[in-house]
């Protein structure tokens, strides 16, 4: 055993030869105004500022998610409401409130690389895409494009006073126009989540006596599923992971269409929703066992 090793066979560290008092004196002798300490203080300030910005973006993303979910819950009342146009107008008001939150996110990201903070805002953007595309489908029976979504997220100087309080002190001047772009991955994930809402819309529409909507939704979901299968495993992991959930939603809608086509004349309209919900539970149980 060498002289550098103790009885336990572990190599001694160099500072073990110095007493605690000597090490404390070395710390006290450090010059706080030295170039090295100044550099580390600036690094500390930069990291703290970035961390605080990240936490603000997480909170904003959480608020965007909550308001978007409330908009989706409101839109589900469209099939049973006596005046569907009022529901759409109210949902537009709620989406405007969500965009004001997204405007604050865009304000925080001025002069920053969005992808450094993408993980903080991605859940909120996905939920917003889901809400906007759900409203767009109810209005037009088609899928909104990512370009149309991004057009709604361009903010002008007239919103400047409202967002000044949310900005960081590091930016003295603000541009007259700024925007926040939804990434293709966030768009795809939001559309994949949309299929679950369309499946629920199918069941609720049948319960209200609407027989045509399930067949329309079945064709629409089949087109979305075909588009996702072209991506397959070549896309991001999150997209391929959503493919299984999308397939489940499509199977439930197709099962509802099958029941309507084969046994629709036998089952009273007020009982169709109960039959579909029972079959949906059976499908979920079979997939859970498999």
Binding site as annotated, residues = 130, 197
Cα end-to-end distance, the chain, whole Å: 60
Cβ 129 vs Cβ 154: under 8 Å: no
The C-alpha atoms of residue 199 and residue 110 are separated, in whole angstroms, by 39
- 3-state SS class at 179: strand
What lies within 8 Å, CB to CB, of 170 at 6+ separation is 49, 111
The C-alpha atoms of residue 21 and residue 255 are separated, in whole angstroms, by 78
The C-alpha atoms of residue 290 and residue 285 are separated, in whole angstroms, by 9
Instruction: Mark the binding-site residues for Mg(2+), compressed into ranges.
Output: 130, 197
What DSSP character marks residue 157?
Answer: G
């Amino acid at each position: 055993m060498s002289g550098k090793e103790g009885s336990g066979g572990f190599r001694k560290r160099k500072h073990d030869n110095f007493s605690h008092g000597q090490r404390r004196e070395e710390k006290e002798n450090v010059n706080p105004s030295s170039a090295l300490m100044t550099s580390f203080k600036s690094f500390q300030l930069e990291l703290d500022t970035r961390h605080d910005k990240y936490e603000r973006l997480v909170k904003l993303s959480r608020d965007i998610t909550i308001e978007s979910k409330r908009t989706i819950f409101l839109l589900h009342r469209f099939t049973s409401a006596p005046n569907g146009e009022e529901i759409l107008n109210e949902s537009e008001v709620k989406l405007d409130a969500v965009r004001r939150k997204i405007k604050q996110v865009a304000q925080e990201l001025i002069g920053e690389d969005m992808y450094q903070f993408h993980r903080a805002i991605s859940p909120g953007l996905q939920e917003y895409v889901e809400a906007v595309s759900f409203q767009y489908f109810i209005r037009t029976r088609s899928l909104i494009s990512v370009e149309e979504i991004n057009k709604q997220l361009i903010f002008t100087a007239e919103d400047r006073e409202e967002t000044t309080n949310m900005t960081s002190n590091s930016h003295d001047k603000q541009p007259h126009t700024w925007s926040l772009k939804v990434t293709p991955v966030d768009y795809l994930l939001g559309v994949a989540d949309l299929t679950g809402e369309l499946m629920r819309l199918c069941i609720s529409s049948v319960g209200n006596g609407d027989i045509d909507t399930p067949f329309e939704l079945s064709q629409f979901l089949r087109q979305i599923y075909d588009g996702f299968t072209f991506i397959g495993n070549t896309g991001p992991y999150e997209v391929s992971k959503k493919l299984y959930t999308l397939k489940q939603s499509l199977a439930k809608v197709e099962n509802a269409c099958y029941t309507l086509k084969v046994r629709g004349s036998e089952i009273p309209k007020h009982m169709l929703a109960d039959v579909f919900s029972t079959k949906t539970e059976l499908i979920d149980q079979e997939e859970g066992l498999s």
